[in-house]
Amino acid sequence: MAPAQHPQSGYNQNTHVPSKFPLFPRQFQFSSNWNRTIETDLSAGQFNWTFGLFDYLGHIPEYALELYTLYRYSRICRTDVVFSVVGESDEANQNFAYEAAMARMPYDQSGTLTPSAIKLIRGSRYALVPTSGFNKCRLGASFGSFDELGNPVFDRTYWQTVADASNTTPADTNRPVVGLAARVVNGNRCLVSINVSVTYHMQFFELEWNKVPELEKVQAGGKPARSRKPLRSPKEVDSFYADDDELLSEKPAPCPKSKGKKAT
């Protein structure tokens, strides 16, 4: 017997098309990016920027606020930072040397250390850019959410609510952060464009149960809320069909008889 003549089972939707899915996850983890580009003159002062390893410090990445409407807490597990500095020519078409650095450090020191001092920190990234040639530097590094001894810090102290994520200062100023710094070498005018791209690897958890929509709203007296007025009231519906009944009940008028002769 040919293979086409063998009896075959019918189409099974469960086999070919998924139709059953699990409940909404109790925790959701993903990575998201925050980035900013600015222009500054380093002769006016040293440039510093700080990004938290356990705190957002107001740098809330994409989709995080939407996830906060579903979950109560989040925690940062890893942070990838890319620090790019590009020198610009002034009105006299002159460029000036500058230095840039980034490293992990305590928050209370992140705004005071110079790039030369940051270079001394273990695991730091440093670049000295000349006045001519490739007048650009790009520093990048990944930082895990660990304490100074390498232990992961995942206890409740480091959980972030939406209010905590908006704070620009951490609760403990000794917490480690990623500090960025750039300054001109000779003190002259130095125009630069700076781009910082931070990728947060996050976990959101503890569902917000008060965001569950109510199925039926009940007033204080125990009576259900008044429903929306229908397009037609019951009286209007009855009168509408009553007109049809009257039309059906009327007898048709008899047809007048013709006075002509009968056909033979």
Q: What is the pLDDT of residues 147-192, one digit of tens each?
A: 777 777 778 889 999 999 999 999 889 999 999 999 998 877 788 9
Would you call 246 helix, strand, or coil by DSSP?
A: helix
Residue 172 covered by a domain: yes
Residue 16 has pLDDT above 90, yes or no: no
Judge whether 241 lies within some domain.
no
Would you list the DSSP string of 158-211?
Answer: G-B-HHHHH-SS-SSTTSEEEEEEEEESSSS--EEEEEEEEEEEEEEEEE-GGG
Confidence of residue 264 (pLDDT cuts 50, 70, 90): very low
Identify whether 88 is part of a domain: yes
Bridge partners (DSSP) of residue 99 are 128, 183
Apex 62 CA angle, 59 and 66, nearest 5? 105
CATH of the domain at 44: 2.60.120
Please state, for a pLDDT cut of 70, what percent of the chain lies above it. 72
Residue 260 lies in a domain: no
Q: What domain range includes position 40?
A: 30-210
What is the spatial distance between Cα 4 and Cα 158, in angstroms, rounded to a whole number? 65
Is residue 94 in a domain? yes
CB distance 79 to 198 below 8 Å:
yes
pTM here is 0.72
Domain membership of residue 10 (yes or no) is no
- Mean pLDDT calculated for residue range 129-136: 79
Residue 136 within a domain = yes
Are 61 and 35 within 8 A, CB to CB? no
Residue 129 lies in a domain: yes
Spatial CB neighbours of 133, under 8 Å, sequence gap ≥ 6 = none
Do residues 176 and 148 make contact, with C-beta atoms less than 8 angstroms apart?
Answer: yes
pLDDT tens by residue, 97-132: 899 999 999 999 998 899 999 999 999 999 999 877
